Chains A and B, each alone.
Chain A
Amino acid sequence: MSGGVDSSIAAVLLKEQGEEIVGLSMQLWKENGRCCSLDDLWDARRVATQIGIPYYVLNLEKDFENTVVRPFVETYLHGETPSPCILCNNYVKFHHLVEKAAGIGANRVATGHYARVKYDEALGRWLLLRGRDRNKDQSYFLFGMTQDQLSKTIFPLGDLTKPEVREIARLRGLPTSEKPESQEICFVQGRSYADFVEEYSGIEANRSGDIVTEDGEVVGTHAGIHKYTGRPQYVVRIEPQLNRIVIGEDPQRTSFTVRDHNWIAIDKLTEPIRCDVQIRNRFEPKPATVSLQNDEIAVEFDAPQRAITPGQAAVFYWNDVVVGGGWIQR
């Protein structure tokens, strides 16, 4: 329970279905000795009290720093664009939190994600599907879930739309019904990513280097590679070893490989498959072929795509079903 409306309603719905539930919040990050999400935890506690469920705050600061914050910073310093929310789902929520829940005797964990889980008898596998609300769908952020994790997960909002969720909250008079969406990465809050990376890693704010063309011609100076991502139109590539940023034509590519992949709808890749591939959060999936090449998972789009960004996740879909995914490497 984050204190937001989604997880609050997830709890409300389960409670109304007669499930025996325990509300849990995660204390993840502290800055200057203050918990950054304290007000939100108070909201979560108020909701839990209102619906009459036990509620606890679990301290997962260490796990969060090790598996989300540090990799986030390191990814930037390597010239890639990180996806901390996916790491948080993979490691903090569906690994450490699930384990803590098991410790207090809870055999399943529910969250307020907009996604669906179902067991497919024919395949003998747990499937992850997009949420019914295509605008809010969060399946992209969940591609790392294992079969074991999916078997213990409930997404009560999977069949609802955000407006429906707000309406439920309003009707129940929940204190969080009108809370705005959180848009920022929780631990960065109110700063630029570059500022956070500097503060956390203790690197000098100004680590200037060259901006060069593909031919190696120096055309300018940058103030630190962590201030750039592959997304702005003309950054072709970031070379951390040389502290250089390469600019050029907006690159359109059809193929790339992924690392640390995870399969959900299939056990493993034995022959090439056709699917739709999503390469960032707000991106309409495009048809592609996914195959095994030299022990690596390779993706070949039917048509060239812009901004295939190292560090972002590529998630493979069969319509609403998540086949699997991995991290874009080049």
Chain B
Amino acid sequence: MRPEVVAAMMPVFTEHFGNASSIHWFGQQAKAMMDDARQQVARLINAETAEVVFVSGGTEADNLAIRGIADSQRAKGRHIITSRIEHHAVLHTCKDLEKQGYDVTWLPVSRDGLVDPEDLRKAIRPDTILITIMHANNEIGTIQPLEEIGQIAEDADVYFHSDGVQSTGKIPVDVRKLKVDLYSMSSHKIHGPKGVGALFVRKGTILKPTMTGGGHERNRRSGTENVAGIVGFGEAARLAREGLKTDMPRVATLRDRLEAGLKSKIEFIHVNARNAPRLPNTSNIMVDYAEGEGLVISLDLKGVAVSTGSACSSGSLEPSHVLTAIGKTPDEAHGSLRFSLSTMTTEEDVDYVVETLPGIVERLRELSPYYKKV
């Protein structure tokens, strides 16, 4: 977390510990702090303050959006359109709805991970009730043509949700321009605390709550608010908005330095999704003839934290569904590393990786039966 975020949260633990839904004054104070945070999050994506619903994180935001629409629109239809490279929070939610009798169209993506808007247009049917396509991919960083997709959704009068967990704070997001009805965000992806996120819900959207109870968050999401987390999220959102024009171009330069450095020092490596518009902070690098598990552990032992596939899939043999969808074989997928940079990453950090990885790759390739034949 950013130190400013920690500083913003501390008073919530020590002074303003009231329950934000209470009538008494210290509850009211907590409520006011929460609504300041709501405004910060709203500003980051050009939403109105009242359109931001706080939840426990990106997964809950995705569930609330997808299940909430699926449930409220059952009378209209049961068809949902999504892509093959969504985060598991969307993917598994749609699979669950499939089991409940909904019909899901899984749009393919190009070798760079892009959805073709034409495919979407053709997939829309009279009974389509929801389009859910992520803004930017968590593994390869590909940014979807969301504005175009949003226009298609609007023309067809179909609700449009986008998982914006990766894009929020990394690239400019304007929910009006994107024409999204629902947009998921997560606090810890922008140096805020874990366990808090938000769903943008456009005014007038009919959404059935998934969490019922005391009617918190204007009846959108019941449950006592995680005030400290929300306040931290608000501060993180403020800082992210400030840094969009300054921090992110610097991060993109570092990412390019990393990719160029590694390519100059290691044979047989490729940058996945290189030709698509990408997030400034994500780099997915495929290392041929080196086993992914060994790469990740060796790097970690040298103080470099990377992942193969998505973080949630560690310990799994299943190749990443994202890399498979962009045409990689299971072996290629296992040998792909996901580097995530941030505003806190320095040039020295990048250079350290560029110095460290070649030796590790060489050691693993020595053990590879395939490498020797090359």
Contact = CB atoms under 8 A, between A and B. Distances in A.
B315 A22 contact: no
A102 B367 contact: yes
A104 B299 CA distance: 9
B293 A100 contact: yes
Contacts of B363: 103, 105
Given A22-B301, A54-B301, A100 B315 contact: no
Interface string A75-107: 000000000000000000000000110111100
Contact of B298 (A27, A35, A105): A105
How many chain A residues sit at the interface, stated as a range, is 10 to 19
B44 to A, nearest CB: 36
Contact of A56 (B291, B297, B316, B367): B297
B294 A104 contact: yes
A104 B301 contact: yes
A54 B296 CA distance: 13
A35 B294 contact: no
Contact of A104 (B297, B315, B316, B317): B297
B364 interface: yes
Interface in B284-300: 291, 293-294, 297-298, 300
Given A27-B315, A56-B297, A105-B360, 10 more contacts: A22-B297, A54-B300, A57-B314, A58-B293, A59-B293, A100-B294, A102-B367, A103-B291, A103-B364, A104-B298
Interface string B301-333: 100000000000011110000000000000000
A253 interface: no
A62 interface: yes
Interface of A (DSSP majority class): mixed
A139 B78 CA distance: 62
Nearest to B368: A103
Contacts of B316: 59
A104 B300 CA distance: 10
A296 interface: no
18 contacts: A54-B300, A54-B301, A57-B314, A57-B315, A59-B293, A59-B315, A59-B316, A62-B317, A99-B367, A102-B367, A103-B294, A103-B298, A103-B364, A103-B367, A104-B297, A104-B298, A104-B301, A105-B360
Given A99-B367, A103-B367, A61 B298 contact: no
Nearest to B364: A103
Contacts of A102: 367
A205 B241 CA distance: 64
A59 B298 CA distance: 15
Top 8 closest pairs, chain A to chain B, by CB: A103-B294, A104-B297, A57-B315, A104-B298, A56-B297, A103-B364, A59-B317, A27-B315
Interface string B360-373: 10011001000000
A103 B294 CA distance: 6
A26 to B, nearest CB: 10
A105 B293 contact: no
Contacts of B297: 22, 56, 104
Contacts of A99: 367
A158 to B, nearest CB: 27
A329 to B, nearest CB: 32
A149 to B, nearest CB: 16
B310 to A, nearest CB: 15
Contacts of A104: 294, 297-298, 301
Interface in B339-374: 360, 363-364, 367
Contacts of A54: 300-301
Among B291, B297, B300, B301, the most chain A Cβ lie within 10 Å of the Cβ of B297
A124 to B, nearest CB: 27
Nearest to A61: B317
Nearest to B296: A56
Nearest to B314: A57
Contact of A105 (B291, B301, B314, B315): B301
Contacts of A35: 315
A100 B367 CA distance: 9
Contacts of B367: 99, 102-103
Contacts of B300: 54, 56
B319 to A, nearest CB: 12
A40 B360 CA distance: 30
A34 to B, nearest CB: 12
Contacts of A59: 293, 315-317
Contacts of B293: 58-59, 100
Interface in A49-64: 54, 56-59, 61-62
Nearest to B318: A59
Contacts of A62: 317
A246 B293 CA distance: 49
Nearest to A59: B317
Nearest to A62: B317
A35 B360 CA distance: 29
Nearest to B359: A105
A104 B367 CA distance: 11
A22 B297 CA distance: 10
B293 to A, nearest CB: 6
Interface in B143-175: none
